[in-house]
A and B are shown apart, each in its own frame.
Chain A
Amino acid sequence: MHLRLRVWRQASATATGKLVEYDAPNISPDMSFLEMLDVVNERLMEKGDDPIAFDHDCREGICGSCSLMINGAAHGPMKATATCQLHMRSFRDGETIDVEPWRAKAFPVIRDLVVDRSALDRIIQAGGFISAATGGAQDANAILVPKTAADAAMDAAACIGCGACVAACPNASASLFTASKISHLGHLPQGQPERRRRVLSMVNQMELEEFGGCTLYGECQEACPKEISIDTISRMNGDFIRAGLTDWR
């Protein structure tokens, strides 16, 4: 394949960035999108130019590192697919492809396509856990968890924390990310004691990090590589209202 790329280049957090055009001939349709970028980078470096910086690690769609806006869509055109699992056979020969970083106030650009997503960690810090210090646990089978609850918890727990939901949302809201953790833990009996406290602290942190509010556009669920359902957000909202009505301390 022969492609043209328009890639966001930005030397540092404070530099101004712009889209730069690159010619990308001889691309195999069996390459992954990141392998295509590897090839483009190798060619840039052979000419003595700086390679395009982008986050990636597992290249199996599970670590949540890769994070590219491809033709304006978070993780590109293929549903339920992270950038690293997207293959060039999803594009047309001769196509021009725009590649940009996640755009959100809470995700400042560090360099080129690399952004700072530490705000997501701070949301987990605020309450996305069950307080169970190492050592005191009872026998695992002493807690019965109905299969349906375990499955629902797992559906939500599949979130890879990539931030595509934020990037796709017109309000740059982190609601799907936050709600998936709240749903995961809220479906399980072990998660009940801290349920109210959790939702209040996490939602509060999400606001402090300057993520936008959720107005149920539903773009997040479309972009999510793990197909986390927007129903988790309704659940979070329900929990939030109930928690606000009671004294959770």
Chain B
Amino acid sequence: MNLNARIPAGPLEKKWDRHRFEMKLVNPANKRKYNVIVVGTGLGGGAAAATLGELGYNVQCFCFQDSPRRAHSIAAQGGINAAKNYQNDGDSIYRLFYDTVKGGDFRAREANVYRLAQISVNIIDQCVAQGVPFAREYGGLLANRSFGGAQVSRTFYARGQTGQQLLLGAYQALERQIGAGTVRMFPRTEMLDLVVVDGRARGIVVRDLVTGDVRSHVADAVVLGTGGYGNVFYLSTNAKGSNATAIWRAYKRGAAFANPCFTQIHPTCIPVSGEYQSKLTLMSESLRNDGRVWVPKSVGDKRAPNSIPEGERDYYLERKYPSFGNLAPRDIASRGAKEVCDEGRGVGESGLGVYLDFADSIRRVGESVIRERYGNLFEMYQRITDENPYEVPMRIYPAVHYTMGGLWVDYNLMSTVPGLHVIGEANFSDHGANRLGASALMQGLADGYFVLPNTIGDYLASSKPEKIDVSHAAFRDAEAEVVDRARRFVDLRGKRTVDSFHRELGKIMWDKCGMARNAAGLKMALEQIPRLREEFWRDVNVPGSDRQLNQALEKAGRVADFLELAELMCIDALHREESCGGHFREESQTPDGEALRNDERFTYVAAWEYAGATNAPLLQREPLVFENVKLSQRSYK
């Protein structure tokens, strides 16, 4: 397997410019002769499909929801970063680059991250031109706030609905292209396999979720913007439908999977309330700008929060990280919460919660200002918990939120399968071992609007794909496999529901491959997961037929893939005997309990190659070379 990252030569600041000049162009008149498949309509896929359509390519675009506007990106709340330095507070492209590399605990590729920081400024321009209603100052200029571990105010936002507004911008651009006939949209359609012909990605096999028909689509290049795989944990902040199927099937067709164990656990989510819980709700991190995190100083203090005097509260983030305080990065804030709860100082009925208290801010700036800033989040909290956060501190607990791992891609966002490109959360590229707040939206749009539409042209112009159609044996075989698998599910008639397996898998992953991991636990998980998978394929119950809309069948396919991916995550977590970012190996910590990297052994991307159902995956390493930043122990003290 070839892990050439194709990083352009030259100084960091010039690489992208120079690369754009050196890439081959597709003649404008020829663009419409090229077919490109884009799977996904989130910020990555939606932006890419719209832009490719504008450029004149012939695009086919897919999503499993009933409308492209419902991709999971819609749920992002807090904001999007850009190095505009509109606030004159010392921000710059270099600083955003540096913060992202450091925040990722030095496990990301410098060249990609620098490009991301450069493009960030274009994203805001583009979104404003489309009519995204970002927050404004009275003078009409754009407003900013600081967010998730940044000491400058570089986050642009649209109330608590930034993802929604950015996605609607991309969706509207996409609908415009659908209307213009450059993009054909296939909603309620799920990609179930990638088709590789002569070593190149040439199409996909899909299932029409309404009729159950299985069909193939051919193209000259395939783009996956299918989002993250946090739902492997069952409970996460992701939408219920978010899944790993597209990237997992691509992995099994030869695309390397990079750093699968790098998972982000978000510190501010509403705690679990019962067994029936179907998902976890994020409370935007922006709340940490004004909320103070605390737990009682003494173990087992069950008094109501407002009757615990100031002196008996432990504002542990402010205590441990005086310079960042409540704004400490996500991985650190999450582990902090776990630590105090493990000590028995957690709050709420389950003891798995910490307070996020707004009383001081309300005293300082007034309730109306707090309402203006976070009104919709407070409402959401009250709706779910039946408690009023203006009066009682919120209870929060960490939850699985984002996956930094994903399919390996080179500088051109192409996977190890030529012609298969991967964008947005589905790839592994820019966030290393921990993503900073407000950087996923930035990356999705950078990939979709600005990077991929350039680099895919280079691939198409230099590869001259042969004409083939769906009658090719590779398509027929893949279709047959997809049909067989669906039949197998509905014929099984086992006793346990899909969700019951998914819940059990989630519990194994949360306990053994969650906020803290150790060799013994991971080894145990590696025994439990195959057993559970075996039981799943023996005893899962999928009612109904495969020839109709069948939501249990859709779920079964996704959970079957999670059951395989989970194993790879544990293998990766076990092999990486260091702590970095969101990957905390208990065996590797500093004397005061912070993550301890092992740069000598692990300054690389772990890219796993599929070696067949009965063989262990093969580890390929892409060494990470830092020419511009100096590796240091991350410190937020």
Q: Residues of A at under 8 Å CB distance from B?
A: 11-12, 28, 30-32, 34-35, 38-39, 42, 44-46, 48-51, 53, 55-65, 81, 85, 87, 89, 110-111, 114, 116-118, 120-121, 124-126, 128-141, 143-147, 150-151, 153-154, 157-158, 160-161, 184-185, 188, 190-191
Over the window 65-76 of chain B, the binary record of Cβ atoms lying under 8 Å from chain A Cβ atoms (1 yes, 0 no) is: 111111010110
A32, B125: Cβ atoms closer than 8 Å: no
The chain B residues found within 8 Å of chain A, CB to CB, are 47, 50-51, 54, 65-70, 72, 74-75, 84, 86, 122, 124-131, 133-142, 158-159, 161, 164-165, 168, 171-173, 175-176, 178-179, 185, 187, 210, 239-241, 273-274, 276-279, 281-282, 380, 383-384, 386, 449-450, 453, 493, 495, 497, 499-500, 541, 543-544, 548-549, 551-552
> Which of A51, A116, A135 is the one whose CB lies under 8 Å from B66?
A116
Cα distance, A102 to B469, chains bound together (Å): 40
Docked CA distance A53–B624 (Å) = 48
Q: Which residue of B126, B239, B380, B541 is within 8 Å of A134 (Cβ)? A: B126
Instruction: Verify A144–B140 contact, CB threshold 8 A.
Output: yes
Q: Give the number of residue pairs across the A-B interface with Cβ within 8 Å.
A: 218
Question: Could you tell me if A157 and B274 are in contact, using CB atoms closer than 8 angstroms?
Answer: no
**Would you call B384 and A87 a contact (CB within 8 A)?**
yes
Q: Is the CB of B67 within 8 A of A137?
A: no
Instruction: For B158, list chain A residues within 8 Å (CB).
Output: 154, 157
- A130-B380 contact given A34-B278, A42-B497, A125-B178, CB 8 Å threshold: no
Q: How far is the CB of B382 from chain A (nearest CB, A)?
A: 11
Expressed in whole angstroms, the Cα–Cα distance for A135 and B453 within the complex equals 11
Could you jot down 30 A-B contacts, CB within 8 Å? A30-B386, A31-B276, A50-B544, A53-B549, A58-B70, A58-B72, A58-B74, A59-B240, A59-B278, A60-B380, A63-B72, A64-B70, A111-B548, A121-B67, A124-B69, A128-B175, A131-B176, A134-B126, A135-B126, A140-B84, A140-B128, A141-B86, A144-B139, A145-B140, A154-B158, A154-B159, A157-B133, A160-B74, A161-B67, A190-B129
In the bound complex, do residue A110 and residue B210 qualify as a contact, i.e. CB atoms below 8 Å apart? yes
Cross-chain contact A150 with B276 (CB below 8 angstroms) = no
Residues of B within 8 A of A151 (CB): 136
Bound-complex Cα distance A53 to B545 (A): 13
Do A125 and B239 contact each other (CB < 8 Å), given the known contacts A58-B74, A132-B129? no
Whether A125 touches B74, Cβ cut-off 8 Å, given contacts A59-B279, A110-B549, A111-B549, is no
- B551 and A53 contact, CB distance less than 8 A: yes
- In the complex, A140 Cα to B142 Cα: how many Å? 8
Most central of A111, A120, A140, A184 by chain B CB within 10 Å: A140
Assess whether A185 is in contact with B131, with CB atoms less than 8 Å apart.
yes
Complex contacts, B497 vs chain A, CB 8 Å: 42, 45-46
Known: A60-B281, A134-B50. 15 other contacts (CB 8 A): A57-B65, A57-B240, A58-B72, A111-B549, A116-B66, A121-B69, A128-B172, A131-B176, A133-B51, A140-B84, A140-B142, A150-B133, A157-B158, A188-B133, A190-B129
With A63-B239, A87-B384, A144-B139 in contact, do A124 and B171 touch (Cβ < 8 Å)? Answer: yes
Docked CA distance A39–B125 (Å) = 46
Would B75 and A60 count as touching, CB distance under 8 A? yes
CA distance A145 to B159 in the complex (A): 16
State A71–B58 Cα separation when bound (angstroms).
Answer: 46
Interface contact B161-A158, CB-CB below 8 Å:
yes
| A75→B130 CA distance, assembly (Å) | 31
In the bound complex, CA of A35 to CA of B281 (Å): 14
Contacts of B168 in A (CB 8 A): 157
Q: Which of B47, B176, B499 has the most CB of A within 10 A?
A: B176
> Which A residues touch B50, using CB under 8 A?
134
Q: Is the beta-carbon distance between B549 and A50 smaller than 8 angstroms?
A: no
Q: List the B residue with the shortest CB-CB distance to A112.
A: B549
Instruction: Determine the distance from Cα of A158 to Cα of B160 in the docked complex, in whole angstroms.
Output: 10
